[in-house]
Structure 1
Amino acid sequence: MFTQLDDLVEKFNVISEQISQPEIIADQDKWKKLMKEHSDLRDIVEKYQEYKNTLQSIDEALSMLNENLDDDFKELVKEELAEHKKRVEPLKDEIKLLLLPKDPNDDKDIIVEIRGGAGGDEAALFAADLYRMYTMYAERNRWKTELMSLNENGIGGFKEVVFMIKGQGAYSKLKYESGVHRVQRIPTTESGGRIHTSTVTVAILPEAEEVDVELNMNDVRVDVFRSSGNGGQSVNTTDSAVRVTHVPTGLVVSCQDGKSQLKNKDKALTVLRARLYEMEQEKKNAEQAAEKKSQVGTGDRSERIRTYNFPQGRVTDHRVGLTLHRLDQILNGDIEEIISTLTTVDQTEKLKQVTNG
């Protein structure tokens, strides 16, 4: 491990010199690539330096204890020594986590697909709640959101909503949200006060660049049609809505949110590319050994991952056994505690696999 760390420090130092060279700065593509590498290495280099400084402080403290010191000063040195020793193992664990292979999608922007499942209108209403939750979480992180397509049910609910979140680390934070979200609450239309259970499916797709997916436009059928809104609202008089069909896989994406046919086509192709990329990723994941998969990071859309119970004001994530009694704040975008818990559990599992492997 330490040989690897020394190599990374050397690489970091070389890149640090390169990014200040005029000829490198002049080549913006190369400079941006090196800056990205520099940024990726900084955390582990700084953590390794902290580890080495701690070991050095231990050596210095041990050396001082061999000298003739007065009792008070000796006690002070012993306290410092104990503190430094306490830091060694946690620092080693932090370094091991930083050395874990990084998910290549972590820095990507994402496409979020939310669909009402079992429960009809109640499921559609909760799909709208989740859309609001994720957009408010994006605001907290200063990320940008862009609506791709929306299918409303006429009473404020969403049968389906697809939107993009653009921002540093969006996929790394939200990748564990894929799966079935279950809601338990009394619908406003329920006169008997009975609790209904409904489900909503969430899919988090990393945005796929053209280099990630080779999309042959000869395989894509593009149809245009007149977009329609609820009760005749927002109905365009031109054929601005676009439906793209990927013939080899049968994947279909429709976009009718914007008034520009060209923009709707671009949005539809962006979603299509992300879905094709996800299919490719799933195929690779299926080829991995079952024990190498994380219970948190499977991203299986059919898996029930979380329950939102309104009568009890609680949210439970079933994968990690986390229950929080602050439903209102969570639906207002305060989901950082859930996300950080899922991330920690996933990293710990991966660390065990590396250690045991």
Structure 2
Amino acid sequence: MTNLLNKVEELKQEYSKLEKQLADPKIITQLDRYKQISARYKEISEILQYAKELQTNIEALEENKKSLKHEDEDELVFLIEEENTNLESIVENLTHKLKTMLIPKDENDEKKAIMEIRAGTGGEEAALFASDLYRMYTHFIENKGWKIDIINSNPTGMGGLKEISFEVLGKNAYGTLKFESGVHRVQRVPETESSGRIHTSAASVVVLPEAEEIDFDIDENDLKVDVYRSSGPGGQSVNTTDSAVRITHIPTGTVVTCQDEKSQLKNKNKAMKVLRSRLLDLEIQKQQQSIAKQRRLMVGTGDRSAKIRTYNYPQSRITDHRINYTSHNLESFMDGNIDELIDALHIAMQEEMLNND
């Protein structure tokens, strides 16, 4: 409680400073700055209202407890104790609400997202699973009213995907999907398996916040740009011009390719968009891993190699290993109905942040 009240005091000081800034006639001429300050002022104002209500109820509870020590009449004692029970419940709820409001917001949550799905161990079966995951996310994204723009894809000849990267166009796309990053494992009998033996294969998913140019300044001298002819399944050429682009960020060794557009310029622009997002994500991962180390978090660690989920087809079971979530409705889940799990992951992350505060 002391830590909570200290944070409230800090916010009171910030609120006072913002109030003075908003009273300055010059600030109105700086529209973007004015909007930013106004939004923060409104946010803190709401928090302080809850803090004031909490303080009022705490004081009322303390006053009642003092009165109980000097009260002998049974009926009054009963009424005060009954009121105290109600006040304790109010204090508990307001404290939780206030803690939730004080959780630092991820400034990237409202951004669009870039998703990358890659087949892992398991050969063609892993590529088919990567394709199934892409279909699952496509349905989820369409149900949200968002759109998809494919950046790069590498299909196999049997309907699978070695890899695919795509942009998710929608407000809060990154905030919604960010906990999908990690290794997804599948257990099922491949269509080509005549003996009916269950195989295990995997695919990795990476979710990046789409970075704007203002988010990340890239020195052109740090880039190596190669152009080549686009290729389709099996490696056959599908274009007679050098329209495909590969960009290497030399300091980090990050490589991005794009070949889905017919225009070299469009492919380069898309590749740069992905590169900026990956470099921004590297910074985010460092921050997340540092926070996770301090807080011992299971969700949101930024560990891309962690096995996060298993899809067991024979038992129609999905298990998320971070929060011990299990569902036996695999068919619906693979049709894009993943909202329940996504909500559960966000709630788990919020609770971890609160409990470790």
Query: Retained in 1: the 8 A contact 2:289–2:301?
Result: no
TM-score (norm 2): 0.81
- Residues 38 and 140 from structure 1, CA distance in 2 versus in 1: closer, same or farther, beyond 3 angstroms? farther
Query: Retained in 1: the 8 A contact 2:288–2:300?
Result: no
Residues in 2 aligned to 1:40 and 1:349: alpha-carbon distance in whole angstroms: 23
How do 1:1-357 and structure 2 match up within 5 A? 1-2=4-5, 4-5=7-8, 8=11, 27-34=30-37, 36-37=39-40, 40-41=43-44, 44-45=47-48, 47-48=50-51, 51=54, 82-83=85-86, 85-230=88-233, 235-285=238-288, 290-354=293-357
- Name the SS of the counterpart of 2:107 in structure 1: coil
Query: Retained in 1: the 8 A contact 2:310–2:320?
Result: yes
Instruction: Please state how far the C-alpha of 1:50 moved relative to its aligned partner.
Output: 6.0
Instruction: Please state how far the C-alpha of 1:49 moved relative to its aligned partner.
Output: 6.3
Residues in 2 aligned to 1:180 and 1:95: alpha-carbon distance in whole angstroms: 35
Residues in 1 aligned to 2:52 and 2:335: alpha-carbon distance in whole angstroms: 40
- Name the SS of the counterpart of 2:356 in structure 1: helix
Q: Deviations over 1:292-332 (max 9, x none)?
A: 34111112122111001111111001111110111122222
- Residues 43 and 343 from structure 1, CA distance in 2 versus in 1: closer, same or farther, beyond 3 angstroms? farther
Residues in 2 aligned to 1:8 and 1:303: alpha-carbon distance in whole angstroms: 37
Instruction: Please state how far the C-alpha of 1:239 moved relative to its aligned partner.
Output: 2.3
Query: Retained in 2: the 8 A contact 1:175–1:299?
Result: no
Query: Retained in 2: the 8 A contact 1:15–1:34?
Result: yes
Q: CA RMSD in A?
A: 3.7
Range moving further from structure 2, 290-299 or 3-12: 3-12
Amino acid of the structure 2 residue aligned with 1:124: A
Amino acid of the structure 1 residue aligned with 2:180: E
- Name the SS of the counterpart of 2:238 in structure 1: coil
Instruction: Please state how far the C-alpha of 1:125 moved relative to its aligned partner.
Output: 1.3
- Residues 289 and 135 from structure 1, CA distance in 2 versus in 1: closer, same or farther, beyond 3 angstroms? closer
Residues in 2 aligned to 1:79 and 1:184: alpha-carbon distance in whole angstroms: 55
Aligned length: 351
Query: Retained in 1: the 8 A contact 2:285–2:303?
Result: no
Residues in 1 aligned to 2:308 and 2:274: alpha-carbon distance in whole angstroms: 24
- Name the SS of the counterpart of 2:248 in structure 1: strand
